């Protein structure tokens, strides 16, 4: 009966209907009817430490997003990759594997998902081209260090319990590193068969860079710093009237704060200080501004990117429309005191589809005009409440990347480092370390309660919880023992390499249906018993079980890591079968070839 339910679940997973989490709930309800497990046992997954750990890691990942750390990581990888998708996959897989070797692979994937989505949008790629490489790298990381995944510790513990020396911290690396290198090469080719399902996705929104080009803003940006002795030090902005006298908009003022440079809105009463950096939108002649700067000891600073896009965490853009009912119709921007009222500078204007050049501040507004405004994201979002005079038409794609708590990034990094240290050292259980991290993230205001609840992917958690009872049910009904006994009877006296291959295959197949930790618990004693019957060393068989437990690439439910990327990658069940099975065979060949060489029989 249990096997029949398991087969039914797999069939429904393959069909894709109903949703995977609904199928999992169906199994939670159905398994107690078999009499093998009770209803409390079927629901015990909700109290499983690994499920709580995954939920906590979602929260930690969201805190890293809100503080801008993930955006910086994505920027680094994107800069390294340039326009090359292959280089991006290389840096993504290496980075994910490196982190997963010292902390929870599931947590690393949860943290990397928003980074990957952001990079995919930037490069115009379907997210599915990157999500499966991410998942595979995180799984293979389990083959690199002793603490990378629970099955490694289970096998190590079984060796110690039987009186053998356990595995060292990096004993797995000679096998995992070559497999990771092969996986990267494999994904360079296999990525071409991914992402097709995302072709029907809506086109990406415009970016700030595209608007800069559309409104011809490329040559209008300047950054001027008040040098020592500048006559402007101590002057108020309304005394200078730079817009009227020099034809410039002061977009923002950079000023050194207690810990970092802060961006401030220009107000009429703002007094300028030595060291202030003025971010200017130049509407007139650059030569006039340069002469003004020289006369007033203003040092021109170099520009990194086009028109303030390097300041996108603080300065944003939006397109707004003037409706027919607006009180602005027929008046100029100067007459409407637009900057004072909205804390935004109008840097571009269109009458219908025709762009307006020159002094737009004195151009009468018409019904249906489109304005490109520039300012802080907070001021831009306030326009969303405006209905009578302005209609917020469009935000750029960068609006999704804004880190509202960017100034708290150092605190978030410190908390993340503490969590990693606690997990690596084992001073407290992993789930306790992660929950402590969540509380500290809240204490330092890197995330709020509402954001924490929104960050948790409940569909993923329900799917994992729904599949956990199968492990107990299969154990109680003897299904797992039956498979282990059959393996011993069939290969107990055979060729050692053939036996090693059989152990790898059976371990991986079990990992498809029950957790890889439970599989290691069941298969480690079987593997050591086979080694004893052959008179061989236990180490190659123990290592094979550990490596095989991290090689279940072939289905989206064979590992929480795969399950995490199903939604963001827009994958179907068969995508994992098509991509994962060939590389599983490659991994099998590497393990059977290398393990007996480095760990002789």
* pLDDT of 590: 93
How many other C-beta atoms are found inside a 10 Å radius of the C-beta of residue 181? Answer: 13
Instruction: Give yes or no on whether 221-306 and 315-396 have one common fold.
Output: yes
348 phi and psi, to 5 degrees? -150, 150
**Global pTM?**
0.61
* pLDDT of 201: 44
Counting as low any pLDDT under 50, the low residues of the chain are 196-202
* pLDDT of 22: 84
d(CA 301, CA 276): 12
* pLDDT of 383: 79
CATH architecture of the domain formed by 315-396: 2-Layer Sandwich (3.30)
Q: Is 261 exposed, middle or buried (0-12, 13-18, 19+ CB in 10 A)?
A: exposed
Q: Which tokens hold the place of 591?
A: 């393990």
* Alpha-carbon radius of gyration of the chain: 30
* pLDDT of 363: 83
* pLDDT of 203: 52
**Each residue's pLDDT tens digit, 195-243:** 544 444 445 567 777 788 777 777 777 888 888 888 888 888 777 767 6
Q: Which residues contact 4 (CB under 8 A, 6 or more apart)?
A: none
How many other C-beta atoms are found inside a 10 Å radius of the C-beta of residue 122? Answer: 18
Sorted by where each begins, the domain ranges of the chain are 2-199+418-468, 221-306, 315-396, 470-598
Q: Which of 308, 161, 185, 193 is nearest to 249 (CA)?
A: 308
Domain 221-306, CATH homologous superfamily name and number: Regulator of K+ conductance, C-terminal domain (3.30.70.1450)
Q: Edge-to-edge strands of the sheet including 344-351?
A: 354-355, 344-351, 370-376, 315-321, 391-394
d(CA 565, CA 568): 5
How many other C-beta atoms are found inside a 10 Å radius of the C-beta of residue 388? Answer: 10
């Amino acid at each position: 009966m249990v096997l029949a339910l398991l087969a039914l679940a797999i069939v429904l997973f393959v069909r894709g209907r109903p949703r995977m989490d609904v199928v999992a709930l169906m199994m939670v309800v159905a398994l107690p009817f078999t009499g093998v497990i009770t209803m409390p046992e079927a629901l015990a997954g909700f109290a499983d430490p690994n499920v709580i750990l995954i939920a906590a890691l979602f929260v930690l990942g969201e805190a890293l997003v809100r503080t801008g750390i993930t955006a910086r990581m994505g920027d680094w990888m994107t800069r390294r990759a340039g326009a090359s998708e292959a280089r991006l996959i290389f840096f993504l897989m290496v980075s994910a594997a490196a982190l997963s070797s010292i902390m929870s692979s599931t947590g690393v994937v949860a943290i990397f998902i928003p980074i990957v989505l952001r990079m995919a949008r930037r490069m115009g790629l379907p997210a599915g081209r990157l999500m499966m490489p991410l998942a595979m790298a995180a799984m293979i990381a389990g083959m690199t260090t002793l603490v990378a995944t629970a099955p490694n510790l289970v096998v190590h513990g079984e060796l110690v319990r039987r009186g053998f020396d356990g595995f060292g911290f990096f004993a797995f690396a000679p096998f995992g590193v070559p497999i990771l290198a092969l996986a990267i090469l494999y994904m360079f080719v296999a990525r071409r068969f991914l992402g097709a399902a995302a072709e029907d996705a809506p086109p990406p929104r415009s970016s700030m860079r595209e608007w800069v080009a559309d409104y011809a803003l490329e040559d209008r940006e300047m950054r001027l710093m008040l040098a020592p002795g500048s006559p402007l030090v101590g002057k108020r902005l309304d005394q200078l009237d730079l817009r009227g006298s020099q034809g410039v908009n002061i977009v923002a003022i950079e000023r050194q704060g207690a810990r970092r440079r802060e961006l401030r809105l220009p107000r009429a009463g703002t007094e300028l200080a030595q060291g202030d950096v003025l971010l200017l939108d130049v509407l007139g002649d650059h030569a006039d501004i340069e002469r003004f700067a020289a006369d007033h000891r203003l040092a021109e600073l170099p520009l990194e990117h086009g028109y303030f896009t390097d300041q996108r965490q603080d300065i944003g853009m939006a397109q707004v429309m003037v409706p027919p009912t607006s009180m602005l119709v027929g008046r100029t921007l100067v007459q409407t005191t637009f900057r004072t009222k909205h804390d935004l500078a109008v840097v571009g204007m269109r009458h219908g589809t025709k762009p307006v050049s020159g002094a737009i501040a004195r151009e009468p507004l018409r019904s249906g005009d489109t304005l490109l405004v520039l300012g802080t994201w907070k001021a831009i979002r306030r326009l969303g409440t405006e209905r009578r005079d302005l209609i917020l038409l469009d935000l750029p794609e960068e609006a999704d990347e804004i880190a509202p708590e960017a100034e708290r990034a150092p605190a978030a990094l410190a908390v993340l480092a503490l969590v990693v240290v606690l997990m690596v050292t084992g001073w407290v259980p992993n789930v306790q370390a992660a929950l402590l991290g969540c509380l500290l993230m809240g204490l330092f205001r890197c995330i709020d309660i509402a954001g924490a609840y929104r960050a948790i992917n409940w569909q993923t958690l329900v799917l994992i919880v729904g599949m956990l009872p199968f492990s107990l049910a299969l154990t109680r009904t003897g299904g797992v023992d039956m498979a282990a006994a059959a393996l011993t009877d069939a290969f107990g006296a055979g060729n050692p390499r053939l036996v090693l291959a059989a152990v790898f295959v059976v371990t991986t197949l079990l990992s498809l249906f029950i957790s890889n930790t439970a599989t290691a618990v069941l298969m480690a004693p079987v593997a050591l018993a086979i080694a004893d019957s052959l008179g061989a060393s236990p180490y190659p068989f123990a290592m094979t079980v550990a490596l095989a437990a991290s090689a279940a690439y072939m289905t989206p439910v064979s590992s929480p890591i795969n399950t995490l990327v199903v939604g963001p990658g827009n994958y179907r069940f068969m995508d994992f079968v098509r991509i994962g099975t060939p590389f599983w065979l490659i991994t099998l060949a590497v393990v059977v070839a290398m393990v007996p060489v480095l760990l002789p029989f």
